[in-house]
């Protein structure tokens, strides 16, 4: 069965999908946490976390250059390790996005309430309307969804760029000196926090079946995202340190830095956070349904989820199934019970992709790889070891939650496969 998706996404749009996936509401909280944990080594913490993320991203880039199908990590794992393992990767990836989308939906309403307290009683209505709007945009064509992502990616960078310019070039020397940080409290924990802040770059790998040049675009999107975000995060950290002497104790570091920028600066940064979160939501709305589509297309889930709307050539059932689930989780608060498995599920996906690259070096030696890493399997092997190390930093409850989600997915997979075999 051939995919019937429309190839319209170009490389710049893929790059923005990656950038938008990484830069969300978290950056508006990160500088204070990092300053508290890493002290005067904060910039090095960003750099080290960026290098680790880039190593993982390089593995994604080599794997993606071998394929032109929709699904991202699911597709790579299937070629390397078979359908069952691939299903677990796709399932955990989808769960990560669904929980993240529900969590961001609540976070967005919180920021909107700070700007306009009168909207608080209408929280559930706002969530349903905004999630529905994003589903609608993506139903009417991947191009519309991608343009929404590009628009909000640019908009969310404006307040951050303003912060960097003012913090670096318009703060007096004495004020900058007052913001000097102390010795590190827990440098390793700071790096761990930052690693999670780089998550989301994999969104750029998922809609390969709708890219004009999928083998080239994903590598540029992933590597460009991680290099660019590392530099941006470091510049933001320096700027905020110069603007806010009490950064390490701040619970809303960019809003506090905004107050030091100019009158109304805190409001500008709060609005920037709201726009940033909505931008990330738009990226998830584009990418996450494509995982369900890929799982269904591969017959790991009921085939109905692979249904395409002929007019717009979009996976309409997968889009609205994902969106409605997000509405339910966000409106009822159920997502709060699932947050524990979010990070562990994402690391599981990263680990399996890195392993898939190693396996494919032996199982598919002659396969076309427009992007091939140097040094043999060294880079994916190091990236795999780093993923295992990061998983070991998780709490027992987080790992247990991820394991339960994995077992539940396998049960659904087993039921689905048995049903299809009986139908045949």
Q: Which two tokens stand for residue 130?
A: 């905004």
Residue 419 has pLDDT above 70, yes or no: no
With CA atoms as reference, report the closest residue to 179 among 256, 241, 254, 248.
Answer: 241
Q: Are 96 and 200 in contact (CB under 8 A)?
A: no
Residue 421 has pLDDT above 70, yes or no: no
Identify whether 3 is part of a domain: no
Q: DSSP states of 246-290 as a string?
A: TGGG-SSHHHHHHHHHSTTHHHHHHHHHHHHHHHHHHHHHHHHHH
Residue 417 has pLDDT above 80, yes or no: no
Q: At what angle do helices 42-64 and 378-392 cross, to 10 degrees?
A: 120
Residue 95 has pLDDT above 80, yes or no: yes
- Binned at pLDDT 50, 70 and 90, residue 331 comes out as confident
What predicted TM-score, i.e. pTM, was given to this entire model?
Answer: 0.83
Amino acid 319: pLDDT = 92
pLDDT, the chain, mean: 83
Amino acid 56: pLDDT = 92
- Kindly report, residue by residue over 178-204, the tens digit of the pLDDT: 455 667 778 877 887 787 778 888 888
With CA atoms as reference, report the closest residue to 74 among 59, 90, 94.
Answer: 90
The CATH number covering residue 111 comes to: 1.20.1740.10
Q: DSSP states of 91-128 as a string?
A: HHHHHHHHHHHHHHHHHHHHHHHHH-GGGGGGHHHHHH
Range of the domain at 251: 11-415
Tell me if residue 309 falls in helix, strand or coil: strand
Identify whether 422 is part of a domain: no
Residue 323 has pLDDT above 90, yes or no: yes
Amino acid 195: pLDDT = 78
End-to-end CA distance of the chain: 16
CA angle 272/206/340 to nearest 5° reads 65
Residue of higher predicted confidence among 312 and 76: 76
Name the domain count of the chain: 1
CA distance to 20, 177, 344, 416, per residue, from 334 (Å): 25, 45, 18, 25
- Backbone dihedral region for residue 204 (phi beyond 0: left; psi -120 to 50: alpha; all else: beta): alpha
Amino acid 101: pLDDT = 85
- Kindly report, residue by residue over 145-180, the tens digit of the pLDDT: 777 778 878 888 888 898 899 888 877 655 555 455
Q: Is 94 exposed, middle or buried (0-12, 13-18, 19+ CB in 10 A)?
A: buried
Identify whether 94 is part of a domain: yes
Amino acid 172: pLDDT = 67
- Kindly report, residue by residue over 20-34, the tens digit of the pLDDT: 888 876 777 778 888
Identify whether 292 is part of a domain: yes
Amino acid 424: pLDDT = 52
Amino acid 178: pLDDT = 47
Instruction: Pick the most confident of 46-60, 66-80, 162-176, 335-349.
Output: 46-60
With CA atoms as reference, report the closest residue to 127 among 230, 19, 295, 278.
Answer: 278
Identify whether 2 is part of a domain: no
Once rounded to an integer, what is the mean pLDDT over residues 69-92?
A: 87
Query: Which of 21-25, 67-71, 327-331, 333-337 shows the lowest per-residue confidence on average (mean pLDDT)?
Result: 333-337
- Kindly report, residue by residue over 229-246, the tens digit of the pLDDT: 999 999 988 888 888 877
CA distance to 96, 134, 344, 363, per residue, from 406 (Å): 12, 28, 11, 26
Residue 379 has pLDDT above 90, yes or no: yes
Amino acid 377: pLDDT = 92
Identify whether 5 is part of a domain: no
Identify whether 243 is part of a domain: yes
Tell me if residue 172 falls in helix, strand or coil: coil
Q: Is 374 exposed, middle or buried (0-12, 13-18, 19+ CB in 10 A)?
A: exposed
Residues contacting 272, CB < 8 A, separation 6+: 28, 156, 158, 159, 160, 254
Amino acid 177: pLDDT = 52
Q: Are 74 and 295 in contact (CB under 8 A)?
A: yes
Amino acid 147: pLDDT = 78
Query: What does residue 9 show for φ and ψ, rounded to 5 degrees?
Result: -80, 125
Amino acid 181: pLDDT = 63
Query: Which of 81-95, 106-120, 375-389 shows the lowest per-residue confidence on average (mean pLDDT)?
Result: 106-120
Q: Which two tokens stand for residue 156?
A: 């969310």
Query: What does residue 368 show for φ and ψ, rounded to 5 degrees?
Result: -70, 120
Tell me if residue 314 falls in helix, strand or coil: strand
Identify whether 349 is part of a domain: yes
């Amino acid at each position: 069965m051939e995919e019937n998706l429309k190839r319209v996404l170009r490389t710049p749009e893929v790059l923005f999908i990656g950038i938008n996936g990484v830069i969300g509401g978290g950056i508006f909280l990160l500088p204070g946490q990092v300053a508290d944990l890493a002290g005067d080594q904060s910039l090095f913490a960003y750099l080290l976390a960026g290098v680790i993320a880039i190593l993982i991203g390089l593995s994604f880039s080599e794997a993606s250059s071998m394929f032109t199908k929709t699904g991202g990590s699911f597709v790579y794992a299937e070629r390397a390790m078979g359908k069952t393992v691939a299903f677990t990767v796709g399932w955990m990836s989808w769960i990560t996005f669904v929980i993240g989308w529900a969590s961001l939906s609540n976070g967005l309403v919180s920021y909107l309430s700070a700007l306009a307290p009168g909207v608080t009683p209408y929280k559930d209505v706002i969530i349903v309307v905004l999630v529905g709007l994003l589903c609608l945009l993506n139903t009417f064509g991947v191009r519309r969804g991608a343009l929404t992502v590009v628009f909000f990616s640019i908009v969310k960078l404006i307040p951050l760029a303003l912060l960097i310019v003012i913090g670096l070039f318009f703060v007096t020397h004495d004020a900058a000196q007052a913001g000097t940080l102390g010795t590190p409290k827990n440098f390793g924990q700071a790096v761990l926090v930052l690693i999670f802040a780089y998550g989301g770059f994999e969104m750029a790998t998922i809609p390969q079946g709708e890219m004009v040049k999928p083998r080239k675009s994903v590598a540029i999107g992933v590597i460009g995202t991680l290099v660019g975000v590392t530099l941006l995060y470091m510049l933001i950290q320096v700027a905020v340190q110069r603007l806010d002497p009490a950064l390490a104790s701040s619970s809303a570091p960019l809003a506090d830095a905004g107050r030091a920028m100019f009158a109304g600066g805190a409001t500008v940064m709060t609005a920037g956070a709201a726009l940033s979160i909505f931008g990330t939501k738009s990226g998830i709305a584009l990418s996450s349904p494509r995982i369900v589509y890929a799982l269904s297309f591969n017959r790991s889930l009921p085939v109905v989820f692979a249904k395409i709307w002929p007019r717009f050539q979009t996976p309409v059932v997968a889009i609205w199934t994902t969106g409605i689930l997000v509405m339910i989780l966000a409106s009822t608060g159920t997502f709060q019970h699932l947050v524990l498995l979010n990070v562990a599920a994402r690391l599981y996906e990263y680990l399996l992709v890195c392993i898939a690259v190693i396996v494919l070096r032996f199982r598919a030696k002659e396969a076309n790889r427009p992007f091939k890493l140097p040094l043999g399997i060294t880079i994916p092997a190091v990236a795999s070891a780093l993923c295992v190390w990061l998983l070991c930093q998780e709490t027992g409850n987080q790992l247990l939650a991820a394991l339960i989600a994995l077992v539940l997915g396998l049960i659904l997979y087993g039921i689905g496969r048995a049903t299809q075999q009986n139908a045949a």
